[in-house]
Amino acid sequence: MKFKVAVLGATGMVGQKFVQLLENHPWFEISSLAASERRVGKIYGEEVNWIVSANVPDCVRDMEMVAMDPKSVDADIVFSALPSSVAKEVEPKFAEAGFVVASNASTYRMVEDVPLVVPEVNPEHLELVEVQKRNRGWDGFIVTNPNCTTIMLVITLKPLVELGLRSVRVASMQALSGAGYPGVPSMAIMDNVIPYISGEEEKVEEEPLKLLGKFDGNRIVPAELKVSASCHRVPVTDGHTEAVWAEFDRNVEVEDVVNAFTGLKSLDLPTSPEKVIVVRNEVDRPQPRLDRDEGKGMSVVVGRIRKDEWGIKYIVMGHNTVRGAAGASILNAELMVKKGMI
């Protein structure tokens, strides 16, 4: 028997990716779709401006969209692809009503009793759910996944912690799909680079400290690490590329870093890629157009690992709406199922 899942914000960029990834999922089956109020009672296949593949999947084409209300949703798990302002009101209502909420929104990521999880990085942080349920008296709970730029970065930082990682500088080149749909106007981005994304640098600087922190039984004690980010929007459809400079408290060789990256273990879950980090030796990789679908979009691809006088620098690239959003939430939900939390 499959678990019933709902998608909130099902018509948006991430919502569509959820629908696409959940079609034929071995454990999950879409039972409810919700978007803004004006869609309630309307047919998903007629309402959605479907842009992630050729056709709206058959399993949802004729589904009637429901209100963003726990009473209208029939599901074991609720995947949230809502704007953060909307998530603020809606997600706690679902958690209070007993639903497991797996959220992409930034609203609750840094809240003390809400787990911010990447299964290959900090699965033990899911234990924070018990604290959350106790604090709030909820039957359900909220678990979040990181910002789409943070997640590519932190997957590569996790194996570097053992090598004495001390500080990180990162410059991102972020895809258009990261801005949702319709996103950045084409006249603003074609032939251009926009050197500012509102709120992004703060997220990329703060979230890794929670993700790499330690759960002390009550809260997450943040990692002692400095992260400095500069974030930029570029005319690429999917795939965030990041140039990373990592500084260590000891001498680290390129070979150590390659071994650390390739040693990060994949999990035995339906959405896990065979390799979490794929290291490419070609001098001009990774590139979003060529590498974003590695591991069905769930691997991150690293290349150009070099040593300089400060430490090690490299490029990391990953699919922002798959590993960076919908795929990340689905992987979290799979881990929760495996741990018996759902």
Ligand X SMILES: NC(=O)c1ccc[n+]([C@@H]2O[C@H](COP(=O)([O-])OP(=O)(O)OC[C@H]3O[C@@H](n4cnc5c(N)ncnc54)[C@H](OP(=O)(O)O)[C@@H]3O)[C@@H](O)[C@H]2O)c1
Report the interface residues with ligand X, using CB under 6 A.
9-15, 35-36, 39, 68, 81-84, 86, 104-106, 148, 177-178, 180-181, 320-321, 324-325
Q: Say if CB 22 and CB 191 are below 8 A apart.
A: no
DSSP letter (8 states) at residue 66? B
Task: Tell me if residue 240 is catalytic.
Answer: yes
Count of other CB atoms within 10 angstroms of residue 149: 28
Q: How far is Cα 139 from Cα 121, in angstroms, rounded to an integer?
A: 26
Q: Which residue is catalytic, options 25, 59, 125, 148?
A: 148
Q: How far is Cα 199 from Cα 60, in angstroms, rounded to an integer?
A: 34
CA distances from residue 209 to 94, 144, 193, 197 in whole angstroms, order as listed:
28, 15, 28, 21
* Apex 178 CA angle, 57 and 290, nearest 5: 75
Q: How far is Cα 319 from Cα 241, in angstroms, rounded to an integer?
A: 9
Q: How far is Cα 339 from Cα 342, in angstroms, rounded to an integer?
A: 8
- Angle subtended by helix axes 148-161 and 200-211, to nearest 10: 40
Q: Say if CB 12 and CB 35 are below 8 A apart.
A: yes
Q: How far is Cα 10 from Cα 225, in angstroms, rounded to an integer?
A: 36
Residue type present at position 54: A
Q: Which residue is catalytic, options 125, 231, 240, 319?
A: 240
Q: Which residues pair with 66 in a beta bridge?
A: 34
- Please name which of 195, 177, 188, 272 lies closest in space to residue 233, comparing C-alpha atoms: 195
Q: How far is Cα 60 from Cα 19, in angstroms, rounded to an integer?
A: 8
Q: Dihedral sign, CA of 313, 215, 126, 15?
A: negative
Task: Tell me if residue 319 is catalytic.
Answer: no
**Catalytic residue annotation:** 148, 240
